[in-house]
């Protein structure tokens, strides 16, 4: 779900906070009266987000209802693989734009394992994880403002085997010069983030970034 105008992001964030309060309340409330109030908050948050985004209120409510337990951020993992001054990118089937291979972290697996899995599934390459480059709050970077709130893990990786191939999620796999990046899928990665990953590739001793 993407906010239609970045100028409305403060309202979008407040709606997200109301949704979190309602989800947490529904998780722990014992009283039926309290549960009813948290459902009212859920409905208010859904209508607020619908007025600020590209999604109808019914779909937003369905998303809210599917969220169970204490509200926490989602985790996205991305693998940065370089060949001298070139970076490995995959072309997303969803929007036809390019990104570092990656996706949502799977439950019951470590972030490092998840990024290896995503690299293999999206690019065909087997990879080894060298270091955690950065742990970023997606809302603090130049991505389209979206719900749910997401933490992004960027890992420096190296190819250990495999060969380039596409998947259901990707249309193409290629290395691009750092100085000539293609049109990027901004919900997934920004040019500034790729350049920061490249700086870590050139200087692996750099400490992990966070915000």
In tens, the pLDDT along 145-162 reads: 999 999 999 999 999 999
16, with CB counted inside 10 A (0-12, 13-18, 19+), is buried
Whole-structure pTM value: 0.89
Superfamily of domain 74-210: Nucleoside Triphosphate Pyrophosphohydrolase (3.90.79.10)
pLDDT tens figures, 83-98: 999 999 999 999 999 9
pLDDT value for 122: 98
User: Helices 9-28 and 32-52 meet at what angle, rounded to 10?
Assistant: 160
Q: Is the pLDDT of residue 7 over 90?
A: no
The domain ranges of the chain are 7-66, 74-210
Q: Tell me how far the alpha carbon of residue 28 is from its chain's centroid.
A: 28
* Per-residue pLDDT tens over the stretch 49-85: 999 988 999 999 999 999 989 999 999 999 999 999 9
Termini Cα distance of the chain: 23
Across the chain, mean pLDDT equals 96
- pLDDT tens profile 105-129: 999 999 999 999 999 999 999 999 9
Q: Check whether the bond before 148 is cis (ω within 30° of 0).
A: yes
pLDDT digits (tens, 9 = 90+) for 40-51: 999 999 999 999
Taking the mean position of all CA atoms in its chain, how far away is CA 110? 16
Closest to 176 in 3D by CA, of 109, 108, 80, 74? 80
pLDDT-based confidence at 4, cuts 50/70/90? Answer: confident
Within the chain, residue ranges assigned H as helices are 9-28, 32-52, 57-66, 111-123, 191-202
pLDDT score for 1:
79
**105 phi, psi to nearest 5 deg:** -70, 140
Q: Are 175 and 130 in contact (CB under 8 A)?
A: no
Alpha-carbon 209 to chain mean position? 17
């Amino acid at each position: 779900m993407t906010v239609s105008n970045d100028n409305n992001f403060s309202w979008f964030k407040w709606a997200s906070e109301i949704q979190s309060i309602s989800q947490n309340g529904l998780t722990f409330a014992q009283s039926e009266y309290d549960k009813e109030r948290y459902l009212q908050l859920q409905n208010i948050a859904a209508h607020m987000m619908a007025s600020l985004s590209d999604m109808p209120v019914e779909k937003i409510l369905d998303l809210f209802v599917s969220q169970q337990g204490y509200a926490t951020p989602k985790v996205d993992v991305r693998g940065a693989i370089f060949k001298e001054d070139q970076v490995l990118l995959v072309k997303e089937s969803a929007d036809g734009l390019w990104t570092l291979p990656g996706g949502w972290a799977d439950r019951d697996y470590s972030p490092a394992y998840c990024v290896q899995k995503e690299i293999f599934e999206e690019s065909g390459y087997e990879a080894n994880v060298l270091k955690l480059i950065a742990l970023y709050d997606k809302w603090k970077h130049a991505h389209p403002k979206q719900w749910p709130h997401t933490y992004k893990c960027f890992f420096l990786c190296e190819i250990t085997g495999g060969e380039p191939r596409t998947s259901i999620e990707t249309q193409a796999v290629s290395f691009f010069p750092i100085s000539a990046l293609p049109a990027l899928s901004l919900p997934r990665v920004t040019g500034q983030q790729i350049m920061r990953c490249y700086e870590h590739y050139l200087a692996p001793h750099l400490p992990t970034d966070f915000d």
